[in-house]
Amino acid sequence: MTRPIPTPDDVLSKVHSGRVRMTAIRCDGGSDRQIPMPLAELNDLRFQLDPRHRVASVGLWSRSRDTLAWRSPQFLRADVISAWPAPNTKTAPVQMAILRHLREIMTPEAPLTKLEAQRRCLVEIANAYPGAFKRAWTELEPSCKRGRGKHGPRGH
């Protein structure tokens, strides 16, 4: 499963909400310094990527004037990391280790309850955590699980 790549509109919305701070160079010829983006101007801007553009391959264009308004956008690294955290690369190996362990300790003849199985996995598997157990549990064959309400035949 791959993560979706943020679109320029997604980036701009995070900047507009204040979650991601952005600096850029204004294209009015006044300065070549990076300055913080004024949030008031964002409603009229759109990202445009054009590698052949003579001034800026990446810029913010004014929708109303259809001109390049800002060039060379930059973002604060900490904001980007918090807005788009890296995927947990440990999930798949831990989940597979838990699933293998569940298949060893849970048999159709001697199933454990979900709570008992989780407690054992969290103790017996290195780096195990509840989210990985939950995903492994969904992969476990139903015949190995103790069904709800299996307390013997129902009395009449």
Looking at 83, 106, 136, which one is the last position of a domain?
A: 83
Q: Is residue 154 part of a domain?
A: no
- The pLDDT score that the predictor gives to residue 135 is 92
Give the domain range for residue 140: 91-144
Check whether residue 35 and residue 69 sit in a common domain. Answer: yes
- The residues pairing with 24 across neighbouring beta strands, listed in sequence order, are 35
- Say what the pLDDT of residue 3 is: 59
Please measure the distance between the N-terminal and C-terminal CA atoms of the chain and give it in whole angstroms: 49
User: Cβ distance 141 to 102 under 8 Å?
Assistant: no
Residue type, 132: A
The answer to the question of residue 37 being in a domain is yes
User: Which residues, other chains included, contact 101 with Cβ-Cβ below 8 Å and sequence gap of 6+?
Assistant: 120, 121, 124, 125
Structure confidence at residue 1 (pLDDT): 42
pLDDT of residue 151: 53
CB contact at 8 A, 125 and 101 = yes
Report pLDDT for 155: 42
How many domains in the chain?
A: 2
Decide: 39 and 67 in contact? Cβ < 8 Å. Answer: no
Residues 95 and 76 placed together within one structural domain of the fold? no
Structure confidence at residue 153 (pLDDT): 41
User: Can you give the pLDDT at residue 156?
Assistant: 42
Q: Are residues 30 and 52 in the same domain?
A: yes
pLDDT at 23: 93
| Predicted pLDDT of residue 117 | 92
Tens-of-pLDDT digits for all 156 residues of the chain?
455 677 888 888 888 888 889 999 998 878 889 999 888 888 899 888 878 888 888 889 899 998 889 998 998 888 888 887 765 556 788 899 999 999 999 877 878 889 999 999 988 988 888 889 999 999 998 888 877 665 544 444
One domain for residues 100 and 48: no
In a domain, 114, yes or no: yes
The reply to whether 67 and 96 lie within a common domain is: no
Same-domain status, 31 and 69? yes
